[in-house]
Structure 1
Amino acid sequence: MPPGACDAHCHVFGPGARFPYSPKRTYEPTDAPAAQLRALHALLGIERVVLVQASIHGHDNSAMLDAIAQSPDTYRGVAMAPASIDDAGLRALHEGGVRSLRFNFVRRLGGAPDLDAIRSLAHRVKTLGWHLVLHFDPQDLPVYRQFLDALPLPYVIDHMGRVLAESGPQQEPFDALLDLMKDERCWVKVSGAERTSHLLSAGPGLPFEDAVPFARRLIEAAPDRVLWGTDWPHPSVREMPDDGKLVDLLPLFSDDPAVLHKLLVDNPTRLYWQD
């Protein structure tokens, strides 16, 4: 990994005894505390981190903020917040290292949030220089095109839109994602190869290689607006991936070292370390 490499999508879970999980959570997590994440990043050679608030903690960002406070120069955060949050609450999140709000549209995680609330919050956080992070089911990408086109600020789509490799590269959700990438406000994370893939890691070669063509096309479409992350600790996957092998997929995403440097260093710097 190059100096300054960033894992732009990972989580901390608990520990539950200190940071209780939301009673409205839709799955039962295993503790994945900040110390464990730091050990993984030290092993992989990752120097900077963007923590993403997971649904299992709901709107309580305490575990994430605690992890950021331990490394305020190299950690940033993506929070979840209710529409009722006041300006002082948003400012406190900013001072704690948060630079974005995340909204889950995934059906198994509760489905579409209140679009009017998102629009209202989008206008408010724009003044802080923030962006939105949006987590969609693939079939919903075309459905929300009008909503996305009207957003007043940049937005990032998680995990390649969760498209499924088994549906082929010409599928409607991926076409919709590529079309969205023509908009300068749209960013995409080429993360979640283990979610896109229908291969298991026991096969020949590197695991999840059928996700590579999707990542390559997204990077080629907008090399200045792509991010990469491990998605550690990989909640709700059918098979737990080896994070080192996810890193090993990166040279397959692009043959150009300069493009990989954008993906891992330059792009996250522009989006999360502007101040």
Structure 2
Amino acid sequence: MQAEGQDLAPSQARFTVPPLACDAHCHVFGPADRFPYAPSRRYTPEDKPKEVLAALHRRLGLGRAVIVQASCHGTDNRAMVDALRADPARYRGVAMIDDATTDAELREMQEAGVRGIRFNFIKALGGAPDMALFHRAADRARPLGWHMVMQLQGDGVLEMAEVIRGLRMPVVIDHMGRVDPALGVNGPAFLTLLDLLGDDRIWVKLSGAERMTRSPFAEALPFARALLRAAPDRVLWGTDFPHPNLTTPVDEMELLNLVPDFAPEAADRQRLLVDNPATLYGF
């Protein structure tokens, strides 16, 4: 993770990053004196406002980004929306909503570039949401043309598979399902994830390698490659900057340099970094 405002890299991309490449999973945090963190948060991050995110993307050579609302801000999406408005041509967003989110707020977020909603199912971050609320939120997002983003972990993919299949909207699974790499590509959760990708509404992010294993992240490669083979037109990539709840420092350039290992062919990298996010997010 780079220091605030740092624009120069100790490392460089080892492949030609295509124009308009997209970081399809990143966050902004605060600044807390303007956008306070949620009282019910499970963690309190360091401020990483939109200026720090923009500096990271300049360093990596990325032209677009999807800014995903993180749980530390709860359903107060103002920091994320403020970042979208800073560069509407380059940014799209994913919100967190509940029953208190008004229709006017949904319209405002749509205008700002929000294209999906996100729910977290990670036990350490609060566990599964109220499923009635989850379905009500999906019903409100669907007419806007938005998709559902789900953060699951390992067996959570198994537990939620039928719910995912039943949603009448596109679904994006974060971070390769956060499966246990020790179980290998034949583990039950990962096989279920591959099976879900047989549905052309379902997408997956080839992100979160740093949550599966440590540098140089070799254990993540078989999973990313299998997902890309299963759905080359429905995979996305992102940094997950600034890596909430991760205690080990990460160089985002090292994560970017996994892309040619995930996708050795230039055509697959073009889809992963440019074409697929453009299709889903309407760049």
TM > 0.5 between the two? yes
- When normalised by structure 1's length, the TM-score is 0.94
**Cα distance, 1:85 vs structure 2:** 2.5
| Counterpart in the other structure of 1:126 | 142
Q: Does 1:33 align with 2:49?
A: yes
Is 1:50 equivalent to 2:50 in the alignment? no
Counterpart for residue 210 of structure 2: 194
Matched, 1:164 2:173: no
Q: Aligned residues, how many?
A: 267
Aligned-partner Cα distance in 1 for 2:189–2:209: 16
Counterpart secondary structure, 2:144: coil
Secondary structure of the structure 1 residue equivalent to 2:203? strand
Q: Does 1:3 align with 2:19?
A: yes
Q: Deviations over 1:7-28 (max 9, x none)?
A: 0000000111111111111012
Q: Which residue of 2 aligns with 1:204?
A: none
> How many Å separate the matches in 1 of 2:273 and 2:192?
25
Instruction: Letter of the 2:64 partner, please give it.
Output: R
1:261 aligns with 2:270: yes
Runs of 4+ in structure 1 deviating by more than 4 angstroms, as ranges, are none
Is this contact kept in 2: 1:209–1:249, CA < 8 A? no
**Equivalent in the alignment of 1:68:** 84
Alignment correspondent of 1:229: 238
1:214-268 Cα deviation digits (max 9, x unpaired): 0000000000000000000011124121100111111000221111100000000
Percent of residue pairs identical: 52
In structure 1, what residue type is equivalent to 2:177? Answer: G
Matched residue, 1:246: 255
Q: Within 2, Cα distance between the matches of 1:16 and 1:109?
A: 20
- In structure 2, C-alpha distance between the alignment counterparts of 1:196 and 1:232, rounded to whole Å: 15
User: Higher RCO, 1 or 2 (CA under 8 Å, sep at least 6)?
Assistant: 2
TM-fit CA distance, 1:135: 0.4
Distance 2:118 2:246 in 1: 20
5+ residue gaps, structure 1: 202-206
Q: Give the equivalent residue in structure 2 for 1:94.
A: 110
Mapped to 2, the partners of 1:209 and 1:258 lie a distance apart of 22
RMSD: 1.1
Q: CA deviation at 1:93?
A: 1.1
Which residue identity is paired with 1:263? L
SS in structure 1 of the partner of residue 163 of structure 2: helix
1:102 aligned counterpart, secondary structure: strand
The AA in structure 2 aligned to 1:152 is R
**Residue 10 of structure 1 contacts residue 52 of structure 1 at CA under 8 Å; is this kept in 2?**
yes
Deviates more, 1:145-154 or 1:2-11: 145-154
Separation of aligned partners in 2, 1:108 and 1:167:
21
Aligned to 1:174: 190
> What secondary structure, in the 3-state scheme, does the structure 2 residue paired with 1:252 have?
helix
Q: What's the CA shift for 1:123?
A: 2.3
How far did 1:53 drift?
0.2
Provide the C-alpha distance between the structure 1 equivalents of 2:186 and 2:99, rounded to a whole number of angstroms: 37
Unmatched 5+ residue regions in structure 2?
Answer: 1-16
Q: Aligned AA for 2:26?
A: C
